[in-house]
Amino acid sequence: MKWIFTKKLPGEKMRNPISGAFFSSDAVDHAGRALVRESIQNSLDARAVGATGPVRVRIYVSGKAGALPPAKHKRWFEGVWPHYRSTNNGLYRAPLVDQSCEFLVIEDFQTTGLTGNQEQHEDEPESKNPFFYFYRAEGATPKSAGSLGRWGIGKQVFPRSSQAQTFFGYSVTDAQPNGFLMGACILKYHELNGQTIRPDGYCAEERAIYGDQSLAMPASDPEVLRSFRSDFSVSRQPGQSGLSIVVPWLDCGTDETKNDFGSESLLLAALQDYFWPILHGKLSVTIEPFGAATPYTLDQQSFSETFTRLCSTGRVDVKTVRRIQSLVSLANSVLAGEARQFDLPPCPPSKPGWLEGGVPDSMQTDLRLALGSGATVTVNARLTVRIKSGAELEDTFACHLRKIDEFNERPCFIRDGIIISDVKSPKLHGYSAIVHIQNGPLADLLGDSENPAHTEWQSSSQQFKEKYVYGGVVIEFVSTFASELLKQIFSANKELDKALLIDYFSDPGPEAESGKPEKPSPKKGKENPGIPPTLPREPVEGRPRLDKIGGGFRLGGASPGVKSGSVFRIRAAYETSKGNAFKAYQKPDFYFGDGFLSVSLEGCEEVESKLNALAVRVVGDRFNVAVTGFDPNRDLVVKFDLLGLMTVKEPPASQAGEARE
């Protein structure tokens, strides 16, 4: 094997590679996560037909302790050093010949490996040649609808992870059970010995074709393959089909505290982006740092234990931990068959959208009760994917929901097995959600809209717009489905909602027979002839009574609609001359629990207080919440709403007097 670079021809346009930019930190958190996302995606796409059990992925990280010394890496890089040292080659921190080589290995099993005719050097779309598209093509792919990948540039994460923009691929296939090896280096056009050299170089055997032309071909000599496996700690053996990628000169950066390729960073990336196929038993991932007594293993059986082990390192922030915990708990509940199933009526076939009336009334009630009790629900939606060629294909997707207090995150979107991490979607307050689109026409549409890093759905590309009718509307419907669904569920009685959600102490105004507040007179200087602000409103069924008292307010009563276990959230803010009072709220105004506000509770108990919000749970036949201490010179605005029911179980006899949820 030797390193092969070729000269630029006189009439050839200089076009430097830019594909690696699609996996920048703007699209994916960091280089390590991009490597994990793309490589595992490719592994899942390459699952062998008839394979049993999950696709297995092993990631080995040498670190400094296991780095390859110069005496050993010499045979693999002799001949490439002049290119590494050449000017304007695109390497911002080229490796040195006398430094040890840190490296990473990522290999998959239960997969096909790089099959196909290795002599093919032109794009033949019908050939389905993974070897050709991996080594000899960029921006082209044999993958069709139903695959996780689309763009044919995911392999760029391998050179991007190397200081030298270099990687090796060692593959075993059914046709070549002993395997073959080929390396690649992707630089920019660079100058060497007075000549301009093309970006792509290969560590390979050179084979002559068409007379004076040559083609880089992989090596299959058993001794070369054995040495490669030994030097780079590759675990694959002859007969084990699949692909092993070695990334030499791993770009760990200069700050050891921010190593994108640390074992914990790689493990967290696998957890965040592939928890769904792991929990479904379709994927297992092992992270193996050099010298580790116990590697990290993520599979269906060890998931919880490994996640706990990762959290114990203290290297994962609390917010990320809670998000993963909530999603994994929700996914496990769905897998266990605990979710209550609800099927929405199909969307109009002409254009996806909510039907008149949204969620049927009976279903709204059942969903509210199920969610309020803490149950997991699955809402299945049906829509029609319209292709401009004339096909109209009906498909379904599922939204899994569960109530989680103090949770404020966007839904998790999964297209088949891959998480699309940056979908533009509203956050859900108090709920965890997974929107899952299985393989089918809808998954094909969304996959066609994805950016190269598979983190967003975008409807702006010309190719996408030319293929689908109302494709952008489909993306919008799926992206906002969870938040719109919750709005539909909790909007059963519009008149009651208006009475329930807001009261203004400064001027509550009269209520007409329709339940709508009378509009204030637009003319200045005329008083509103409505009910004086000192007179409390009469309670309606299901709504507590709100009174203005000296220095504050009181909420409560014994209305027959207020059940024991009801949880009310109360929010307060000082009125402003313009804009939203609650958006203008600042902590120095006041906050519950600051010592200046007096909170008195009767027949209820505090669930939580945070800044200007207080949540209480009714525990008796009647209740009262009295809060005083507000600035008497400022008008106060208060909102309260019913969050749902929290039942309080009777304590065991041995724990008399101690209430537990």
Residues 619-629 pLDDT 10s: 887 888 999 88
Q: Which of 646, 638, 615 is nearest to 545 (CA)?
A: 638
Lowest mean pLDDT among 106-115, 131-140, 650-659: 650-659
Cβ atoms of 23 and 160 within 8 Å: the answer is yes
Give residue 325's pLDDT.
Answer: 92
Round the average pLDDT of the chain to a whole number and report it. 82
For residues 411 and 434, give the distance between their C-alpha atoms in angstroms, rounded to a whole number: 6
Greatest pairwise CA separation for the chain in angstroms = 100
Give residue 255's pLDDT.
Answer: 62
For residues 132 and 116, give the distance between their C-alpha atoms in angstroms, rounded to a whole number: 7
Token pair of 593, please? 């629990």
The pLDDT of residue 254 is above 70: no
Reduced 3-state DSSP string for 75-98: HHHCCCHHHHHCCCCCCCCCCCCC
For residues 495 and 500, give the distance between their C-alpha atoms in angstroms, rounded to a whole number: 9
For residues 128 and 386, give the distance between their C-alpha atoms in angstroms, rounded to a whole number: 27
Give residue 257's pLDDT.
Answer: 56
For residues 149 and 450, give the distance between their C-alpha atoms in angstroms, rounded to a whole number: 9
For residues 173 and 234, give the distance between their C-alpha atoms in angstroms, rounded to a whole number: 16
Q: Which of 202, 229, 226 is nearest to 216 (CA)?
A: 202
For residues 217 and 135, give the distance between their C-alpha atoms in angstroms, rounded to a whole number: 10
Beta strands in 416-467 (DSSP E): 418-420, 428-437
The pLDDT of residue 4 is above 60: yes
Residue 204 makes CB contacts below 8 A (sequence gap 6+) with 1, 2, 4, 182, 183, 216, 217, 218, 219
Residue 246 makes CB contacts below 8 A (sequence gap 6+) with 103, 104, 105, 167, 168, 169, 170, 228, 232, 234
Give DSSP secondary structure letters for 145-167: TTSS--SS-GGGHHHHTBTTSEE
Cβ atoms of 414 and 327 within 8 Å: the answer is no
Q: Which of 153, 160, 155 is nearest to 90 (CA)?
A: 160
pLDDT band at 482 (very low <50, low <70, confident <90, very high): very high
The pLDDT of residue 497 is above 50: no
Residues 248-271 have a mean pLDDT of 84
Pairing verdict, β 55-61 and 283-289: parallel
Report the Cα–Cα distance between both ends of the chain, in Å, rounded.
Answer: 69
Q: What is the number of alpha carbons within 13 Å of residue 3 lying toward its C-beta?
A: 22
Tell me 408's DSSP state. E
Give residue 525's pLDDT.
Answer: 39
pLDDT above 70 as % of the chain: 83
Task: Give burial (CB, 10 Å; 0-12/13-18/19+) of 115.
Answer: middle
Residues 424-430 have a mean pLDDT of 89
For residues 56 and 327, give the distance between their C-alpha atoms in angstroms, rounded to a whole number: 23
Q: Which of 28, 157, 21, 25 is nearest to 419 (CA)?
A: 28
The pLDDT of residue 34 is above 90: no
Give DSSP secondary structure letters for 254-300: S-GGG-TTSHHHHHHHHHHHHHHHHHTTSEEEEEEETT-SS-EEEST
Q: Which of 537, 606, 534 is nearest to 570 (CA)?
A: 606
Residues 331-344 have a mean pLDDT of 95
Instruction: Say how many C-beta atoms besides its own lie within 10 A of residue 258's C-beta.
Output: 11
Cβ atoms of 486 and 428 within 8 Å: the answer is yes
Write down the H helix ranges in 468-572. 471-479, 481-489, 494-501
Give residue 513's pLDDT.
Answer: 33
Place of tokens 């088949």: 416
The pLDDT of residue 147 is above 70: no
For residues 42 and 637, give the distance between their C-alpha atoms in angstroms, rounded to a whole number: 55
For residues 334 and 332, give the distance between their C-alpha atoms in angstroms, rounded to a whole number: 5
- Amino acid 228 reads F
Token pair of 144, please? 């069709």
The pLDDT of residue 412 is above 90: yes
The pLDDT of residue 336 is above 90: yes
Look up the pTM and report it.
0.71
Give DSSP secondary structure letters for 22-74: GGSTTTSS-HHHHHHHHHHHHHHHTBPTT--S-EEEEEEE-TTTTPBPHHHHH
Q: Which of 265, 276, 23 is nearest to 154 (CA)?
A: 23
pLDDT band at 504 (very low <50, low <70, confident <90, very high): very low
Give residue 211's pLDDT.
Answer: 62
* CA dist list (Å): 354 to 9, 485, 488: 59, 9, 9
Token pair of 637, please? 């605005």
For residues 229 and 223, give the distance between their C-alpha atoms in angstroms, rounded to a whole number: 10
Token pair of 475, please? 């993306």
Give residue 659's pLDDT.
Answer: 32
The SS3 call for residue 249 is coil
The pLDDT of residue 561 is above 70: no
Pairing verdict, β 412-415 and 428-437: parallel
Give residue 191's pLDDT.
Answer: 92
More confidently predicted of 630 and 397: 397
pLDDT band at 473 (very low <50, low <70, confident <90, very high): very high
Cβ atoms of 378 and 343 within 8 Å: the answer is no
As a residue count, the chain comes to 661
Give residue 25's pLDDT.
Answer: 44
The pLDDT of residue 514 is above 50: no
pLDDT above 90 as % of the chain: 48
Give the tens place of pLDDT for each residue, 45-103: 899 998 889 999 999 999 999 999 999 999 999 999 999 999 889 898 899 999 999 99
The pLDDT of residue 530 is above 80: no
For the chain, domains (ranges, CATH) are: 2-258 (3.30.565), 335-489 (no CATH), 494-645 (no CATH)
Please, what sign has the CA dihedral across residues 572, 578, 583, 588?
negative
**Angle between helix 441-449 and helix 471-479 axes, rounded to 10 deg:** 100
Tell me 21's DSSP state. G
The pLDDT of residue 539 is above 50: no
Q: What is the number of alpha carbons within 13 Å of residue 365 lying toward its C-beta?
A: 3
- Amino acid 465 reads K
pLDDT band at 565 (very low <50, low <70, confident <90, very high): confident
Residue 234 makes CB contacts below 8 A (sequence gap 6+) with 105, 107, 170, 228, 244, 246
Cβ atoms of 592 and 611 within 8 Å: the answer is yes
Cβ atoms of 548 and 506 within 8 Å: the answer is no
pLDDT band at 249 (very low <50, low <70, confident <90, very high): very high
Name residue 184's beta-bridge partners: 167, 202
Give residue 209's pLDDT.
Answer: 75
More confidently predicted of 655 and 617: 617
For residues 482 and 338, give the distance between their C-alpha atoms in angstroms, rounded to a whole number: 19
Name residue 169's beta-bridge partners: 182, 245
The pLDDT of residue 217 is above 90: yes
Give the tens place of pLDDT for each residue, 457-467: 988 877 788 89
Residues 125-150 have a mean pLDDT of 68
The pLDDT of residue 23 is above 80: no
